[in-house]
Amino acid sequence: MTKIAIIGGHGKVALKLSSILTQDGSQVTSVIRNPEHRDDVAATGATPLVLDVENSTTAEIAAALDGHDAVVWSAGAGGGSPERTYAVDRDAAIRSMDAADQAGVRRYVMVSYLGAGPDHGVPEDNSFHAYAEAKAAADAHLRQSGLDWTILGPGSLTDGEGNGLIEANPADTSDGTGTARANVALVAAAVLAEPKTAGHTIEFRDGSAPVADALQSLL
């Protein structure tokens, strides 16, 4: 049985992902900060694990990841202060990568965003700047980590229906088409099931191609 750890387990994408994975027969550990979220996580079939990764050491995170086959980072500061954004989306994320390496968990899937990178183009006076900088740093660290990584870059998230249809690596995003959180979860599950996606950054948004076909076109 595949054992998968999801960090940020109470997020909307993570809850949908844990439901998909457990229904497919995987054993899921959902890492959460707030103990009051245990029941929500357990309802998906996952096992809740309370650990505040923002204030945990690399060794503490490694202990939580020990024995797992893969880790998914789906945590985030949620648009708080720049200081907390850097603390969670950059520093804690990087510690989790180092922890995965220490624990011998080779497979690591990062939920990032479409357009992430050092050339994100977000001006310093924009409230999104700290998040863009944090994700650029975390993604760069992951690419250099030696882990079997995949970085997912969904477009702006929506609560629309997850129909399993996406457009991978869209050339033109000016029309503002978003990405249903349910589709993000479906892509993450498909990536975890396909080892050939390791080493790939996959940007996507809602579209017309089935997830499996869209991923195969990139490999």
pLDDT in tens, 131-141: 999 999 999 99
C-alpha to C-alpha distances, 168 to 113, 115, 123, 207, 210, nearest whole angstrom: 13, 13, 26, 8, 10
pLDDT in tens, 80-113: 799 999 999 999 999 999 999 999 999 999 999 9
- Taking the C-alpha atoms of residue 164 and residue 134, their distance in angstroms, rounded to an integer, is 29
Give 173's pLDDT tier (boundaries 50, 70, 90): confident
| Residue 79 placed within a domain | yes
| Residue 206 placed within a domain | no
| Residue 212 placed within a domain | no
- Taking the C-alpha atoms of residue 28 and residue 79, their distance in angstroms, rounded to an integer, is 27
Structural domain span for residue 73? 3-156
| Residue 199 placed within a domain | no
| Residue 144 placed within a domain | yes
The structural domain count of the chain equals 1
- Is the per-residue pLDDT at 49 higher than 90? yes
- State the CATH number of the domain containing residue 13: 3.40.50.720
Q: What is the mean pLDDT of residues 147-172?
A: 93
